[in-house]
Amino acid sequence: MTLTLDIDKPREKKPVVAQTMFLAAGLALLVLAPLFFYPVFLMKLLCFALFACAFNLLLGYTGLLSFGHAAFFGGAAYFTAHAVKEWGLPPELGILVGVAGAAFLGAIIGYLAIRRQGIYFAMITLALAQMFYFFCLQAEFTKGEDGIQSVPRGHLFGFIDLSQSTNMYYFVLGVFIIGVAIIWRIIHSPFGMILKSIRENETRAVSLGYSVRNYKLAAFVMSAALTGLAGGVKALVFQFATLTDVSWQMSGEVILMTLLGGIGTLIGPLFGAGLVVTLQNYLATSEFPVTIITGLVFMVCVLLFRRGIVGEFYNSRLGRKLGFEHRH
Amino acid sequence: MIFGIPLQAFLGQLLIGLINGSFYALLSLGLAIIFGLLRVINFAHGAQYMLGAFFAWMLLSYFGIGYWPALIVAPLAVGLVGAVIERTMLRRLYSLDPLYGLLFTFGLALTIEGTFRYLYGASGQPYATPAALAGGTNLGFMFLPVYRGWVIAFSLIVCIGTWLVIEKTKLGSYLRAATENPILVQSFGINVPFLLTLTYALGAALAALAGVLAAPIYQVSPLMGSNIIIVVFAVVVVGGMGSIMGAIVTGYLLGVAEGLTKVFYPEASNIVIFVIMAIVLLIRPAGLFGRDV
């Protein structure tokens, strides 16, 4: 069960310099961005980018298409919002509660879903996430249709006031960088290599003696936990948690971000998220429904553009010159 | 009284369960047929169901064409749309991982639903029950609205008819053969690409037929498809897509299970199918009638 992933991480051989410069420029852009853009927009972007990167850990590097990641994103948002608002926990602990909750959910859903493969895996995750949606609709603590409103951002480590949007932005940026660094570390570890081997040829991985099930479940839980990190932070950024974040449309959105940016590339989802969030912001004021555009972009991507933006760049002449190699 | 529940309420929910089950059966049947040959999970199945209902509604409100013609015209129209989509776009994805088919049809579903939502709003449009099927009969132990009885009977006929076509006719044997080994079948001079188009059109038409049947019962709304498709996916996981009959039987069974849950524990009624799915996955991962694929 592999998607056509003829793209992968850039090989660290020749022009590492150019890539390091790209990385430095990117970081500088993110640090300076609040001077030019509305911070809440940037924070939203970073949350979704982390969400998409975490999702890509599963789709791009393990070859598992989950159609239920909204459960972890929205679930963590609820857990964090509840922990911070009702239990009065500080933001860092609140987010940890969200991450733990998402990991727990991931363990349950993952345990059930990995019993089937491919297309069934996608349908099972979708159905189980929908079940969680109905649970959130009826549970006490989620406050039903209203959601958990006016969640306090609180003080980070007790002294950094997160209600100030600049402080909040750098906090979100910090979380984002840590999250992506963790994903990078996972991908480049021996564990990550085994995940990729499962993606490429599951039967072979089994015959080599790896207990594929455990690896898949581990990858699923990690992806869910990192998704929870994004969801928990998002709850603090917007100061609410609602049903939107657990709905199946959200699961679809994160797939689109990943597909658009480039499945199986580390930073592709960042670009995909940027595009989708910008588009949503742009269309939010108009009457025109976003879903039509989303749907069309989906169709075009799948038909003509399966490598995604970053994947196409890696595969272009310039990209290869810079050492982002096209793997076959 | 059954288990402390009034007989009326019990039978009433059983009836609703059978109705829902009829739609689950029709939809999962279409999904199974399409998947069997195309290896594509048709996420747009819900949207095609919605299209069927909407075409019926448009025929009535713009052209004054009633229920009976719509029962034929709407599925034909949706089937034609399906054929065009298969020929122009879906076809390009067969050589790829099946997941791309799922993603493509997901995008298709979003586009169709978004468009209808834009044009007609999210609220539902009423569709009157055809005069010949209005009213109800008293069965002595309960009151049966004629239309609901019709839906159950007609969907059973369609399901069994489709099963017979696939299992007992020449065309069906081509379809089954092409499912097993498309290259070999093509080498016998059978036009497999055309079979694929036909199959997708047939699946889409079945969904649309379910939509027309549903129009007088539920409101005709752009969202009616996405609400049902996820449940149908769960039905398909429970049944396993290996067998056509399995899809049909599972559809009715789960509809009834859902209806009965409404009697005994209403809070759980909209998750019971997912719970059953989880249990089946634990006990029999390939599904009740599944040959694993």
- Integer Cα distance of B274 and B252 in angstroms: 15
- Integer Cα distance of A118 and A3 in angstroms: 10
Task: Sort A128 into a burial class: Cβ within 10 Å, 0-12 / 13-18 / 19+.
Answer: buried
Do B107 and A112 make contact, defined as CB atoms within 8 angstroms?
A: no
**Mean pLDDT calculated for residue range B196-204:** 93
Residues B32, B235, B293: CA angle, nearest 5 degrees: 50
- Integer Cα distance of A61 and B219 in angstroms: 43
- Integer Cα distance of B256 and B265 in angstroms: 14
Strands B143-145 and A160-161: unpaired
> Using an 8 Å Cβ cutoff, are B135 and B145 in contact?
yes
Which pLDDT value is given to residue A328? 33
B121-177 pLDDT, tens per residue?
888 888 888 888 888 787 777 778 888 889 999 999 999 999 999 889 998 888 888
- The confidence band for B2, taking pLDDT boundaries of 50, 70 and 90, is low
Do A127 and B237 make contact, defined as CB atoms within 8 angstroms?
A: yes
The most distant pair of C-alpha atoms in chain B lies apart, rounded to whole Å, by 63
Name the average pLDDT for chain B: 88
Q: Residue B92: list chain A partners with CB under 8 A.
A: 303
B11-60 pLDDT, tens per residue?
888 888 999 999 999 999 999 889 888 888 899 999 999 999 999 999 99
> Using an 8 Å Cβ cutoff, are A113 and B234 in contact?
no
Which pLDDT value is given to residue B179? 81
Q: Which residues in chain A come in under a pLDDT of 70?
A: 1-15, 323-328
**Mean pLDDT calculated for residue range B91-107:** 89
CB atoms within 10 A of CB A240: 20
CB–CB contacts below 8 A, A to B: 125
* Contact with chain B for residue A135, Cβ under 8 A: yes
φ, ψ of residue B136 to 5 degrees: the values are -155, 170
pTM, to two decimals: 0.88
For A299, the closest of B98, B107, B117 (CB atoms) is B107
Enter the tokens of residue A138. Answer: 């009826």
**Mean pLDDT calculated for residue range B80-87:** 95
Q: What is the dihedral of CA A89, A94, A96, A98, to 10 degrees?
A: 140
Enter the tokens of residue B225. Answer: 């498809």
Beta strand ranges found along A85-182 (DSSP E): 155-156, 160-161
CB atoms within 10 A of CB A320: 14
Residue showing tokens 């790209």: A22
Which pLDDT value is given to residue A12? 47
Task: Sort A326 into a burial class: Cβ within 10 Å, 0-12 / 13-18 / 19+.
Answer: middle
Which pLDDT value is given to residue A325? 55
- Whether residue B205 has pLDDT greater than 60: yes
For B107, the closest of A119, A130, A295 (CB atoms) is A295
Which pLDDT value is given to residue A15? 62
- Integer Cα distance of A87 and B221 in angstroms: 41
For B102, the closest of A113, A122, A248 (CB atoms) is A122
Rounded to a whole number, what is the distance in Å from the CA of B224 to chain A's nearest CA?
A: 15
* Contact with chain B for residue A289, Cβ under 8 A: yes
> Using an 8 Å Cβ cutoff, are A70 and A247 in contact?
yes
Lowest mean pLDDT among A16-30, A38-52, B184-198, B227-241: A16-30
- Integer Cα distance of A49 and A179 in angstroms: 10
Which pLDDT value is given to residue A323? 67
Which pLDDT value is given to residue A65? 92
A24-81 pLDDT, tens per residue?
888 888 888 787 888 889 999 999 999 999 999 999 899 899 999 999 999 999 999 9
DSSP codes, A15-68: -HHHHHHHHHHHHHHHHHGGGTS-HHHHHHHHHHHHHHHHHHHHHHHH----S-
Q: How far is CA A58 from the centre of its chain?
A: 10
Here the ipTM equals: 0.87
